[in-house]
Each structure stands twice: as structure tokens, then as C-alpha cells.
């Protein structure tokens, strides 16, 4: 181990004690996320419990040019948390305090390691909820800020970006700053809060987050709707969105994904056909009316079935199945890895994009499903990577083709998973060299020594 990192670990022991460790199992756990990229061990893992500890550790690392990679729950999908240049994996999972909840203002302040599930459990009795819902219940709010996460509810409530009001952040040299505040809007200078949202741990370490909350709706209904063709399902999505029905969730599963969910989640009453999962929030009469309108639209695109329910048990089973799609796909071909493309296009281009991707999959000779948050124009292609020497190369080639198609349609390489390692090569094509140069200069201003999560977002 080089001298500089040994010095940092020794100095950090003074205030972290055993919470900075070179234990091999812990380093291994922090060497990768939920992704198919090559893992890389950090030199040490530090579990911090206060802002002051984070400041002191970052100041030490800054002085010695030691990389620091923030780590929430490690559920990100693009190699984000892999310490490709070693250094310290800065684990924030001990920061689990919900600091303040204001029912009248419908907001709260949480530490970065609070999980989405923990927060909603805490809020339930107060009639409030935090709507941003990535598939992983254990992911941290800090990590969700890191990746600018969203999920199934974003079509109605927005992504994490729309639900963060302010932050406390420790910068690369250990300086702590506060951004934003508690007000719903402000016209008061550069928007630093949203600069950190989606910065993937490359600009600062988020310690606290001020969040917007929402009232739990009086009534919720969920529906499933099946189609003989994928085209009918996609056209129904576009028509529902254009009709202005305030749908809360609108998810598409192609026929292979539906088949995988029926098998993995024991879903009853569904055929292996293209399927929409929908959810409506509002008053009892309101959700009944929304479901009826959606059913009428689906019928005009030749839906073969439309079933809806208001009981909690049916809804929970349905959304648990939706959140388990990743594992359901793995269940189709045990021994295969999974690579997930995360493209997004303007709503009017959804049919071109999804039907084109189905052609890309067929041309690749690989098995892959299409599933996603089509209410936002965002969908995933979940590619099964064959356990053969060229398996990963073939999967990446398909991923590239899918991204190129999205970009050509005015879309993006990532709707919600982020850039990490996997999507770096597309940023110049998507933003242009001038905008990318501005991003680099922001990175340089906030992290002049390049110690924060190096090797991510930018190719070099």
C-alpha cells in the first residue's frame, strides 16, 4: 500500500477508530455496485457518522490526493461506486437519522443514509409520503440524489430532482456548505442544490437532504391491461398521457417480461402478452373515473383485458412484481448476467423507440426484455448476457445500438440510472463538446485535485 494512503488511514483512526478498516470482506463489498463492470477494491472503507468526520477525512484525502468514493447502498447500475483508482470508499449507511418532519409544510430533513422505505415507514402515521420510488427499497436518499433517481411514481410526482429543496454537502477539501432551503421556490443565485443532484459523488458528499413530501391519497386503484400487440400497448400509453388523465404510475412490460414476472412473482390472471401496469391516485370517485377513462382508451387500441382493483393486497402484489423484474429476468436464464439499458425519448417517439428496440434485440440474437416507466418516455432493455467469452461484448453492442436509436429520436442515454462508467462514451454526442467542457470546468472548480469518485461521468 502506498505511503500516502497509509498516512491517511493512520490519521483517520484518531477520530474514526475501527470505523476505518482494511478488512478484505468489507473492501470486496465496496468494490462494485449492482452492475456487470469489473470490480476494483478500495484501499480502505470508512463508515462516517457525522459531518465533522466527513470534513476531516476529506481534508486529509485532499491533502494527500487520495480518491474518495461515496457509497450509499451500492445499488446503482452503471459502475458508479467502483473505486477504479483505489482510495477510500466512504460509506454513508450509518447516517440514518430523520432529523425533522413538518406536517404543515409537508417537508422533512434527513441524513444521507436514510432509506426510502425507512422514511415512508416513519411518515405513514402523519398522512404523508415520499414518492420517489426506485425499484430498490434499501437504496439511500443520498445515493438517489447521487444518481438523480426516479422510478414508477415520477410521471405524477417528479423525480428526486423535483423533490429536493436543499442540501448539506461536504466539498472535496472538507469545507461544508448548505444549499437551498425550505421554501418551494426561490430566485436567489445559482442553483447549487440541483448541481449536486445527479453528480454521482464527483462534486461533493451529501450529508443531509431537505425533501418535499406529499399527502397520502384518499384512494388508490391499480390496473393491469393486456394487448395482443406491443404497438397497441405503446399507442395506449401515448393516448393516456395526451388525454391528460393524471396517472400516478404507468409501466409497460413486453411479452417476455410479462412471462418472466408470471413465473417469478406467481402473478395470476395474466397471459404472457404485452402488459401495462397502471395506478391512479385521488378521491374514490376520482380514481374510478380515471380508471374508466383509461379503460376506454385501451379498448380503442384493442386491449384484450383490463382489470382494476382498489384493495391493498392486490396492489402490493402487483408493484412488488414490477419491482422484482430484474430478478425475474435473471430467473429466465440462470447463469446469465444482466445488463440494463436505460433510454428515454420524447413521449411522441415512444412507439418508434420501443418497436425499433425490439428489432435491435431480434437482430442481436440475444434474449432481452423491454420494461419501464413509459409514462415518462423512459424504458429499460434488460439484456441477458450469455456466459460465453464474447457475451458481454455482444450485450454492450446491443446497448450502444439502443442508445444511438434514442439519441437519434431526441432522447437520452439515461433516464434515471446515471452515467457512472457505462454511459461515459455517450455524453459528448448527447451534450456536445462545448457543454461537456463546461461540466469539466465545474468539476475542476469544485474538486481541483480530482479526488471525488474519479473515472466516472468523464471518459478521462
Ligand X SMILES: Cc1cc2nc3c(=O)[nH]c(=O)nc-3n(C[C@H](O)[C@H](O)[C@H](O)COP(=O)(O)OP(=O)(O)OC[C@H]3O[C@@H](n4cnc5c(N)ncnc54)[C@H](O)[C@@H]3O)c2cc1C
Cell 391491461 belongs to 225
User: Using the rule CB under 6 A, is 454 a contact of ligand X?
Assistant: no
In the complex with ligand X, the residue whose CB is nearer, 298 or 350, is 350
Q: Which residues contact 313 (CB under 8 A, 6 or more apart)?
A: none
**Nearer residue to ligand X within complex by CB, 139 or 427:** 139
> Which of residues 169 and 398 has its CB atom nearest to ligand X in the complex?
169
Dist. CA 54–CA 206, nearest whole Å: 10
Q: Is 424 in the site for ligand X (CB under 6 A)?
A: no
Q: By CB under 6 A, is residue 80 in contact with ligand X?
A: yes
With contacts defined by CB under 6 A, name the span among 18-26, 74-82, 228-236, 304-312 that binds ligand X.
74-82
Burial of 111 (0-12, 13-18, 19+ CB in 10 A): buried
Q: Does 70 bind ligand X (CB under 6 A)?
A: yes
**Total residues contacting ligand X (rule CB under 6 A)?**
36
Cα 279 from chain centroid (whole Å):
20
Q: Could you give the CA distance from residue 161 to residue 150 in angstroms, rounded to a whole number?
A: 9
Binding mask 99-138 for ligand X (x = CB under 6 A): -------------x---------------------xxx--
When asked if residue 140 is in the footprint of ligand X (CB under 6 A), the reply is yes
- Give 105 or 191: the residue with its C-beta nearer to ligand X: 191
In the list 20, 31, 33, 252, the residue contacting ligand X (rule: CB under 6 A) is 33
Instruction: State how far the Cα of 279 lies from the Cα of 349, in Å rounded to an integer.
Output: 23
CA angle 443, 16, 210 (to 5 degrees): 50
Q: How far is the CB of 271 from ligand X (least distance, A)?
A: 25
Question: Can you say how many angstroms the Cα of residue 111 is from the centroid of all Cα atoms in its chain?
Answer: 18
3-state secondary structure of 381: strand
Nine-digit cell string for 407: 439519441
Contacts of 125 (CB under 8 A, 6+ apart): none
Looking at 67-75, 287-295, 383-391, 404-412, which segment touches ligand X (CB under 6 A)? 67-75
Asked whether the beta carbons of 113 and 72 are under 8 A apart, the reply is yes
Q: Which of 82, 147, 163, 369 binds ligand X (CB under 6 A)?
A: 147
Minimum separation from the CB atom of position 3 to ligand X (A): 26
How far is Cα 348 from Cα 448, in angstroms, rounded to an integer? 42
* Residues whose CB falls within 8 Å of the CB of residue 363, separated by 6 or more in sequence, listed in order: none
Residue 171 engages ligand X in binding (rule: CB under 6 A): no
Query: Which residues, 324 to 353, sit near ligand X by CB under 6 A?
Result: 326
In this chain, which of 16, 46, 69, 253 binds ligand X, going by CB under 6 A?
A: 69
Q: By rule CB under 6 A, what string of x and - marks binding of each residue 183-222 to ligand X?
A: -----------------xx---xx----------------
CB-based contacts of 278, cutoff 8 Å, min separation 6? 222, 223, 224, 225, 240, 247, 249, 250, 251, 291, 294, 308
57 binds ligand X (CB under 6 A): no
Please say whether the beta carbons of 243 and 363 come within 8 A. Answer: no
For ligand X, the binding residues (CB under 6 A) are 33-34, 69-77, 80-81, 92, 112, 134-136, 139-140, 142-144, 146-147, 149-151, 200-201, 205-206, 326, 416-417, 453
Amino acid at each position: 500500500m502506498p505511503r500516502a494512503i497509509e498516512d491517511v488511514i493512520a490519521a483517520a483512526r484518531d477520530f474514526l477508530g475501527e470505523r476505518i478498516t482494511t478488512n478484505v470482506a468489507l473492501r470486496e463489498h465496496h468494490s462494485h455496485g449492482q452492475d456487470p463492470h469489473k470490480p476494483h477494491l478500495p484501499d480502505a472503507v470508512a463508515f462516517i457518522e457525522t459531518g465533522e468526520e466527513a470534513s476531516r477525512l476529506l481534508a486529509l484525502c485532499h491533502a494527500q490526493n487520495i480518491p474518495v468514493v461515496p457509497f450509499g447502498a451500492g445499488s446503482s447500475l452503471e459502475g458508479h461506486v467502483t473505486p477504479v483508482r483505489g482510495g477510500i470508499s466512504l460509506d454513508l449507511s450509518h447516517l440514518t437519522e430523520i432529523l425533522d418532519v413538518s406536517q404543515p409544510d409537508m417537508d422533512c430533513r434527513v441524513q444521507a443514509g436514510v432509506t426510502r422505505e425507512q422514511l415512508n415507514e416513519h411518515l405513514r402515521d402523519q398522512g404523508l409520503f415520499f414518492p420517489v420510488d426506485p425499484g430498490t427499497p434499501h437504496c439511500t436518499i443520498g445515493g438517489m440524489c447521487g444518481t438523480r433517481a426516479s422510478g414508477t411514481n415520477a410521471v405524477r410526482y417528479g423525480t428526486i430532482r423535483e423533490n429536493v429543496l436543499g442540501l448539506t454537502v461536504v466539498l472535496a477539501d472538507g469545507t461544508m456548505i448548505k444549499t437551498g432551503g425550505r421554501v418551494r421556490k426561490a430566485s436567489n443565485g445559482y442553483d447549487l442544490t440541483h448541481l449536486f443532484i445527479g453528480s454521482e459523488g464527483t462534486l461533493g458528499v451529501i450529508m443531509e437532504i431537505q425533501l418535499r413530501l406529499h399527502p397520502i391519497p384518499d384512494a388508490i386503484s391499480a390496473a393491469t391491461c393486456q394487448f395482443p400487440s406491443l404497438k397497441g400497448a405503446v399507442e395506449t400509453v401515448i393516448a393516456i398521457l395526451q388525454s391528460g388523465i393524471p396517472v400516478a404510475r404507468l409501466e409497460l412490460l413486453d411479452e417476455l417480461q410479462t412471462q418472466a414476472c408470471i413465473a417469478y412473482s406467481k402473478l395470476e390472471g395474466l397471459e404472457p402478452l404485452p402488459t401495462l401496469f397502471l395506478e391512479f391516485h385521488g378521491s374514490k370517485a376520482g380514481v374510478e373515473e380515471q380508471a374508466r377513462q383509461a379503460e376506454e382508451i385501451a379498448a380503442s387500441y384493442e386491449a384484450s383485458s383490463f382489470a382494476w382493483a382498489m384493495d391493498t393486497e392486490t396492489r402490493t402484489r402487483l408493484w412488488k412484481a414490477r419491482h422484482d423484474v430484474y430478478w425475474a429476468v435473471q430467473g429466465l436464464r440462470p447463469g446469465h448476467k444482466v445488463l440494463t439499458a436505460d433510454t428515454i425519448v420524447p413521449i411522441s417517439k415512444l412507439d418508434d423507440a420501443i418497436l425499433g428496440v425490439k428489432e435491435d434485440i431480434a437482430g442481436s440474437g440475444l434474449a432481452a426484455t423491454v420494461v419501464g416507466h413509459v409514462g415518462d418516455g423512459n424504458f429499460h432493455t434488460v439484456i441477458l448476457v450469455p456466459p460465453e467469452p464474447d457475451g458481454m461484448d455482444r450485450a454492450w453492442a446491443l446497448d450502444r445500438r439502443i442508445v444511438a436509436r434514442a439519441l437519434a429520436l431526441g432522447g437520452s442515454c439515461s433516464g434515471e440510472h446515471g452515467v457512472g462508467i457505462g454511459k461515459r462514451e455517450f455524453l459528448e454526442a448527447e451534450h456536445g463538446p462545448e457543454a461537456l467542457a463546461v461540466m469539466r470546468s465545474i468539476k475542476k472548480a469544485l474538486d481541483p485535485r480530482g479526488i471525488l469518485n474519479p473515472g466516472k461521468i468523464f471518459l478521462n
